[in-house]
Structure 1
Amino acid sequence: MTGKQLEFDQRVTQLTKKHQKLNRGYRATMRSDGLVVMKPQRVRSAIPARVLILAVLGFFAFKAFLLAHLGATTYQNRVDSLNAGTSVEKAGAWIMQIDPVSDFLALQINKLRF
């Protein structure tokens, strides 16, 4: 009797998991024997990865253009003045600090400009 009860409990657990997945969205498909089966759809992110990657690349490009236009010393002076401010300004200074990616891009921009 315990073997049958264990099989039943496992089946109930599987059905509960499938039901929870179906609550997030499903699609109906027909098998080769004609039976219509509901399959759960994958949950998609609210922000696609492509948009997130483009935003990060755009941010690095913005920093590189600023760095190329202002020069390293002026840019660093402005970041230092931000770092002396409030906690929000300190967070902005940490984000806007010169990093290897933006420094490399700024050098490439300066090569193209002159």
Structure 2
Amino acid sequence: MEPERAQFAKRLRRLARKHDAMSRGYETRIRPDGLLIVRPRRRSSGISLKSVIIFLAAFILFKGLVLAEVGQGTYENRLVAMQSGTWVEQAGAVVMQIDPATRYVAGFLAPFLR
């Protein structure tokens, strides 16, 4: 009797998993022989490409704004100070390096800030 009970419990767990997956959405397809196949939709990752692009654009805008506000000399001095700090500060210095996009944004924003 015990093997049947274990097999039944396994079937119940599998059905519960399938029900949970179907509750988040499903797709119905018709096979060539006319049989309807219902499958749960795949989960999408939590982060979309659009949100990553918006984040990167905002970050470059932030770097350009800081560069335009404090000036290139002061900005580079602060980067040098960060490079001699802890590993977190060193990582921040790498991320905050002046790149062509940051330089372009700073050049565009500088007339508005002075």
TM-score (norm 1): 0.67
**Structure 1 residue ranges without an equivalent (≥5):** 1-22
Shift of 1:41: 2.2
- Quote how far apart the aligned CAs of 1:108 are: 1.0
Matches within 5 A, 1:76-95: 76-95=76-95
Deviation of 1:106 (Å): 0.5
Q: Could you tell me how far apart the structure 2 residues matched to 1:30 and 1:90 are?
A: 53
User: Counterpart of 1:55 in structure 2: which amino acid?
Assistant: F
Q: Indicate the residue corresponding to 1:46 in structure 2.
A: 46
1:71 Cα deviation after fit: 0.6
**Could you tell me which residue of structure 1 aligns to residue 57 of structure 2?**
57
C-alpha distance in structure 1 between counterparts of 2:95 and 2:64, whole Å: 13
For the aligned residue pairs, the C-alpha RMSD in angstroms reads 2.8
Q: After superposition, what is the alpha-carbon deviation per residue over 1:49-80, rounded to whole angstroms, capped at 9, x for unaligned?
A: 11111111111000000000011001000111
Distance in 2 (CA, whole Å) between partners of 1:95 and 1:28 is: 42
Unaligned residue ranges in structure 2 (runs of 5+) = 1-17
Aligned to 1:8: none
* Matched positions, count: 93
Q: What is the alpha-carbon distance in structure 2 between the residues aligned to residue 83 and residue 28 of structure 1?
A: 52
Q: Is the 8 A contact 1:29 1:36 kept in 2?
A: yes
Deviates more, 1:92-101 or 1:38-47: 38-47
- Map 1:1-114; keep pairs closer than 5 Å: 25=21, 27-29=26-28, 31=30, 35-113=35-113
Relative to structure 1, the CA distance from residue 42 to residue 73 in structure 2 (aligned partners, 3 Å threshold; closer, same or farther) is same
Percent identity reads: 35
Mapped contact 2:69–2:113 kept (Cα < 8 A):
no
Asked if the contact 2:60–2:102 (Cα under 8 Å) also holds between the matched residues in 1, the reply is yes
Between 1 and 2, higher relative CO (CA 8 Å, sep ≥ 6) is seen in 2
Rounded Cα–Cα distance in structure 1 between residues aligned with 2:81 and 2:48: 35
Distance 1:47 1:28 in 2: 22
